[in-house]
Amino acid sequence: MKRLVLYVGGLFFLTLGVSLSIQAGLGVSPVSSLAYALVLTSGLSIGITTILANILFILVQIILNKRIDIKDFILQLIISVVFGFFMDATLFLVQLLPPPESIVLRCVYLVISLFVVSAGLIGYFTAKLPLMPYDALTYVISERFKLKFSKAKITGDLLNVFVAAVLGLVFIQSFGSIGIGTLVAAYFIGKILGWMILHYQKPLQQWVYQVEKLNV
């Protein structure tokens, strides 16, 4: 139950951070760039486009693996729907805040989003429950092309940003979801997450697994 609470809480904070970056209007993180590009080009909600983007990531996994695991497919689809619901909910909440009309306030929103996303990621990863389709795809790319996980992550991020940029240029004649905030997020989220793991992951692990250790 503690793992589930940590997992769902992590996903919620992850979507909250993404919503804050959207509100900042300086470009979203690579992982959400495709979903937000679909928002700008289709008019659909961020929740719906997040689900659609994740379905695409699942299909790419199937193509690269040359097989389909029905149980894994359904599980990732369920997680995608929950994540999409959280995206719509958190964006609604964030839009209740004062709009960042100045560049200073927009930068403040962006910086806060980096820490909130990182907090969500540490909870999500520490819970050690099923991965989101985007993260699962990174592992598939790593195994399929014999790449280190870090290189596979960079490859996946670059492809996601590239497709998002192409969609923006073709349909709205701008980069849309891609901006300076995308580059800032790509660099600093990993740094902030590393700092949080160093200081907070051990206490989280002790909280989550203490009952199991006592039972052993």
Tell me the HSE value of 148 on the side-chain side, using a 13 A CA sphere. Answer: 3
Tell me the HSE value of 149 on the side-chain side, using a 13 A CA sphere. Answer: 3
CB atoms within 10 A of CB 6: 22
Mean pLDDT by 10 residues, the chain (216 residues): 86 92 87 87 89 91 84 88 93 90 91 90 83 86 81 82 86 80 83 82 79 48
Query: Residue 181's pLDDT is what?
Result: 85
Q: Please provide the DSSP assignment of 54-120 as one string.
A: HHHHHHHHHHHHTS--HHHHHHHHHHHHHHHHHHHHHHHHHTTSPP--SHHHHHHHHHHHHHHHHHH
Q: CA nearest 131: which of 117, 141, 121?
A: 121
Query: Residue 94's pLDDT is what?
Result: 92
Please give the C-alpha separations between residue 205 and each of 127, 202, 213, in angstroms, as whole numbers: 8, 5, 11
Is the pTM for the entire model greater than 0.75? yes
Query: Residue 211's pLDDT is what?
Result: 53
Query: Residue 13's pLDDT is what?
Result: 92
Tally the residues of the chain. 216
* DSSP code of residue 216: -
Q: Is 173 left (phi over 0), alpha (psi -120 to 50) or beta?
A: left
Interacting residues of 127 by C-beta distance below 8 A, sequence separation 6+: 3, 4, 6, 7, 10, 208
CB atoms within 10 A of CB 115: 18
Residue type, position 170, single letter: V
Using the structure block, give the residue that is written with the tokens 């609470």.
5
